[in-house]
Chain A
């Protein structure tokens, strides 16, 4: 019974609750038990908030007892990446520099989730300040891929991906700056989505690279992801960059027929990737053809420049966003120092991990006088070109289908000493981030050879066309795309 509860989708939970087959409290308890059972080896969670989840569950159960209309996410056990603020609980960004930091307010996305009835189970592990592609850069130890504990779950939102994959949460919030939701979704064989830039408020998301940061959902089905996205999406007066664009009922539109849609396949995404991954993606594309979609080969000519451009812009913004962790007002302060400047130096030297320091230095460099034009300004121009590629492509096609990652989940420690290799893991995800368009990663079968590692397929759509993107993903799922190969 307990095992079944942790496998339910949001729709399944709603059915069980309204039919009184289970209670929200039982649901939360089942997930806490699952965490108890699995998380010692997976290490998806950094902090648990059972009281908060149970209190919310009891509220939901009272509503059920009183015969009240249930909110859309009533009783849904939810995990939240530790870069997203949850009032009264630790929010550390998996960094030693915020080890003792308690969030004084809730992120808008968290507020909206709880208002919709979700039960927040705890905070998930990630790469420190969301910088990384394996969750090995956590200040509190790595997360293991529940599908193969010797491998990474991807990153930076590896904890959220792993929690959903291991049934330790029904859905989870992650953050995506250059692929940090889509890549771990791919590695953990679940669905992960980043909406259009501005679709979801960033208020309460600890900034890594403000012009690229998104909050987005993980789930085991496209419908769950759609339901979470439509709950957290929409204009927020606390975030000037959140868009005043109406939020459609994505879930209600999922079953619309996709025949007649044009699916673009850009050739630039099919060189240099693991051939078995390529095979699976090709099968995925064939499936769209079978569904009546028109497949069109397209070109996104500036793709090659995206990774360099991305790492200039994200490090530049990070170098400024992380300046506030200086030991003056909150967080870690080095116990030993000699004067103010040395306090800054010691605090930041000991508080930040190696990757964070590497990026702060890179970002400081590309913004410094004499280098700004050659790096930051040039990168901004390239970003415009990358975005234009997509705008032009979407004149011809409705969605674009590409692999999520050029490589399958790798072994822990395998790429840790080679940051450049690690950066290249983001090669297929950073383009959508730079362009600000929505992207989803859905499972696309397993690789042929042992150990049959999961493959993820990305679907992109144009700005604020989440509806068509989710429809395509849902059609793919319904036709067995997740389990093919």
Chain B
């Protein structure tokens, strides 16, 4: 690490004269059951070095055999990113020494990748912007070096090779991104697509989604690119934005005073909120790529490609439009609901259980989203299952439950995992639809409050709301609100 650098402070008028140019290299771990070149399991969290064999351990004499499932998943991803699938691609060896790289080289793809020339559209300030995808290629993951957390970590590093050979795709974007916000949008979009495809869980904490950024700055209007740095260690969406913001400021400050940017790899330190240059000598790799002689060229037949194309699931954009069309949802609601596959699936499960779509959208995006956020939970972990929320919404539609009661019931369902009916019977929250029961309560209130009755009858109709409130209070909110209105009007009319 270089010496601590002071965080640059740039006046707006300087900043505005420059434009950032960002390209992202995203590694996505595929959810294939076995590793890319052997039959070992890809399961995360198993005891160290338990999912290994001579092939992924790189033992002498072992040879790689390509896993077709990984290729199919990579093709799905490439197609969803509008890439052209190359009918013939090649694996190549990327040579470097590292203890968690057992063969001394990584099998990747180099000058003949699986797919190229794609794009995705992102929303930038309400407008659509197209971001180019240079390539999507297949490669194997390396193992993990564990430098911390052991009693003798001060003198030893441990190596876990369970991850070695887990299939990855690398998605390289064109340098089309112009701000940390755009980079964030792009990555979000990418993640959504991968989750829709079910080719990756995109879990950043477990490392199944990893991002490196190439960053440079240039004067606004210039067409030549500035010298870039590669920023690594961006292990959350938030850090990506922060690191990019920092790096852009740092570069503008340097360029603006007429100095040169050093082309280098920089590490983001999330605690310090800065990027640091890595000693270039140590990382000046010549990877000596050459075609992998142990594997035949990867040939994608038309039939294989077409099979994969036919198996493509509905992608977010198409689903959003279908939600607007089929469920008459507003554009905003449809976009919100399709932002994640899990949420969209949850919503559709409710609708399929015969709830009214608009009502379902309101509850999913409103009350349920609020409860999830409060609990810090994702929709996948919602304690209220879609079928149970559908049950509650049916009760609301039938007016067995009022909207207000519904919120309380949902909260109880959320904390207990019970169905609406179970919550209601355990709390005695069933709606009162018996007109005579409500009328009896109304008469009690009327006889106990002659002054208010007088006011109402003398034309001060605003008092009506007070009566409603009293009645709801007396019935602990269980009275059917519509019946309450009718009954009160009748009773007050005398």
Scan B269-290; emit 1 where CB is below 8 A from any A CB, else 0.
0000000000000000010111
The answer to whether B104 touches A324 (Cβ under 8 A) is yes
- B10: interface (CB < 8 Å): no
B344 CB to nearest A CB, Å:
40
Q: Beyond A107-B61, A206-B60, is A372–B99 a contact (Cβ under 8 Å)?
A: no
Specify which of B66, B286, B296 lies most central, judged by the most chain A CB atoms within 10 Å of its CB. B286
- B134: interface (CB < 8 Å): no
- A104: interface (CB < 8 Å): yes
In this complex, what residue of B is CB-closest to A93? B60
The answer to whether B63 touches A202 (Cβ under 8 A) is yes
- A281: interface (CB < 8 Å): no
The answer to whether A368 touches B286 (Cβ under 8 A) is yes
- B27: interface (CB < 8 Å): no
> Could you tell me the dominant secondary structure of chain B's interface residues?
loop
Which residues of B in the span 76-108 have a Cβ within 8 Å of any Cβ on A? Answer: 93, 95, 97, 99, 102-105
> Which B residues are in CB contact (< 8 Å) with A105?
54, 61
A132 CB to nearest B CB, Å:
18
Complex Cα gap A238–B61 (Å): 11
The answer to whether B62 touches A203 (Cβ under 8 A) is yes
- A241: interface (CB < 8 Å): yes
- B383: interface (CB < 8 Å): no
In this complex, what residue of A is CB-closest to B105? A320
A463 CB to nearest B CB, Å:
15
> Which A residues are in CB contact (< 8 Å) with B65?
237-240
> Which A residues are in CB contact (< 8 Å) with B61?
84-85, 91, 103, 105, 107, 203-207
**Choice from B58, B60, B95, B296 contacting A101 with Cβ under 8 Å:** B60
- A369: interface (CB < 8 Å): yes
The answer to whether B93 touches A326 (Cβ under 8 A) is no
The answer to whether A210 touches B97 (Cβ under 8 A) is no
- B342: interface (CB < 8 Å): no
> Which A residues are in CB contact (< 8 Å) with B66?
240
Scan A309-325; emit 1 where CB is below 8 A from any B CB, else 0.
00000001101101110
> Which B residues are in CB contact (< 8 Å) with A98?
60
Which residues of A in the span 41-91 have a Cβ within 8 Å of any Cβ on B? Answer: 84-85, 91
In this complex, what residue of B is CB-closest to A129? B60
**Choice from A93, A240, A330, A372 contacting B64 with Cβ under 8 Å:** A240
- A423: interface (CB < 8 Å): no
In this complex, what residue of B is CB-closest to A205? B61
B49 CB to nearest A CB, Å:
10
- A211: interface (CB < 8 Å): yes
The answer to whether B293 touches A210 (Cβ under 8 A) is yes
Complex Cα gap A91–B62 (Å): 13
How many residues on chain B are close to A (CB under 8 Å)?
A: 28
- A376: interface (CB < 8 Å): yes
The answer to whether A320 touches B286 (Cβ under 8 A) is no
> Which A residues are in CB contact (< 8 Å) with B492?
none
The answer to whether A104 touches B288 (Cβ under 8 A) is no
Scan A367-405; emit 1 where CB is below 8 A from any B CB, else 0.
111001000100000000000000000000000000000
Scan B48-70; emit 1 where CB is below 8 A from any A CB, else 0.
00000010011111111110000
The answer to whether A344 touches B97 (Cβ under 8 A) is yes
Number of A-B residue pairs at CB separation under 8 A? 95
- B445: interface (CB < 8 Å): no
A254 CB to nearest B CB, Å:
31
- A19: interface (CB < 8 Å): no
The answer to whether A367 touches B97 (Cβ under 8 A) is no
- A248: interface (CB < 8 Å): no
- B432: interface (CB < 8 Å): no
> Which A residues are in CB contact (< 8 Å) with B102?
324, 328-329
- B295: interface (CB < 8 Å): yes
**Choice from B99, B104, B294 contacting A241 with Cβ under 8 Å:** B294
Complex Cα gap A208–B51 (Å): 27
> Which A residues are in CB contact (< 8 Å) with B93?
320
Which residues of A in the span 6-25 have a Cβ within 8 Å of any Cβ on B? Answer: none
Complex Cα gap A465–B102 (Å): 38
The answer to whether B59 touches A323 (Cβ under 8 A) is no
In this complex, what residue of A is CB-closest to B295? A240
> Could you tell me the dominant secondary structure of chain A's interface residues?
loop
In this complex, what residue of A is CB-closest to B60? A206
> Which B residues are in CB contact (< 8 Å) with A29?
none
B99 CB to nearest A CB, Å:
5
> Which B residues are in CB contact (< 8 Å) with A322?
104
Which residues of A in the span 267-323 have a Cβ within 8 Å of any Cβ on B? Answer: 316-317, 319-320, 322-323
In this complex, what residue of B is CB-closest to A327? B99
- A135: interface (CB < 8 Å): no
Complex Cα gap A136–B61 (Å): 23
The answer to whether A323 touches B63 (Cβ under 8 A) is no
Q: Beyond A93-B60, A204-B61, is A368–B288 a contact (Cβ under 8 Å)?
A: yes
> Which A residues are in CB contact (< 8 Å) with B60?
85, 91, 93, 98, 101, 103, 206-207, 324
B155 CB to nearest A CB, Å:
12
- A189: interface (CB < 8 Å): no
- A340: interface (CB < 8 Å): yes
**Choice from B57, B64, B97, B295 contacting A323 with Cβ under 8 Å:** B97
The answer to whether B105 touches A323 (Cβ under 8 A) is yes
In this complex, what residue of B is CB-closest to A317? B293
Complex Cα gap A239–B6 (Å): 55
- A180: interface (CB < 8 Å): no
Complex Cα gap A474–B98 (Å): 51
**Choice from A202, A237, A364 contacting B288 with Cβ under 8 Å:** A364
Complex Cα gap A210–B54 (Å): 17
Complex Cα gap A326–B102 (Å): 9
Q: Beyond A206-B61, A238-B63, A240-B296, is A323–B54 a contact (Cβ under 8 Å)?
A: no
> Which A residues are in CB contact (< 8 Å) with B95?
319-320, 323, 367
The answer to whether B57 touches A329 (Cβ under 8 A) is yes
Q: Beyond A240-B63, A326-B104, is A210–B288 a contact (Cβ under 8 Å)?
A: no
Scan A350-378; emit 1 where CB is below 8 A from any B CB, else 0.
00000000000000100111001000100
Specify which of B58, B59, B95, B99 lies most central, judged by the most chain A CB atoms within 10 Å of its CB. B59
The answer to whether B63 touches A320 (Cβ under 8 A) is no
The answer to whether B290 touches A210 (Cβ under 8 A) is no
The answer to whether A324 touches B103 (Cβ under 8 A) is yes
Complex Cα gap A320–B60 (Å): 12
A369 CB to nearest B CB, Å:
5
The answer to whether B63 touches A328 (Cβ under 8 A) is no
In this complex, what residue of A is CB-closest to B157? A340
> Which B residues are in CB contact (< 8 Å) with A344?
97
B194 CB to nearest A CB, Å:
28
Complex Cα gap A364–B60 (Å): 20
Scan A185-219; emit 1 where CB is below 8 A from any B CB, else 0.
00000000000000000111111011100000000
Can you give 18 A-B contacts (C-beta < 8 A)? Answer: A103-B61, A105-B54, A107-B61, A204-B61, A204-B62, A240-B63, A240-B66, A240-B296, A241-B295, A316-B290, A319-B95, A320-B288, A322-B104, A323-B104, A326-B104, A328-B102, A329-B58, A372-B288
Known A-B contacts: A240-B64, A322-B104. Give 8 more (CB < 8 A).
Answer: A85-B60, A91-B61, A202-B63, A239-B65, A241-B294, A320-B290, A367-B95, A376-B290
6 tightest Cβ-Cβ pairs between the two chains A and B: A323-B104, A210-B293, A367-B288, A211-B293, A206-B60, A204-B61
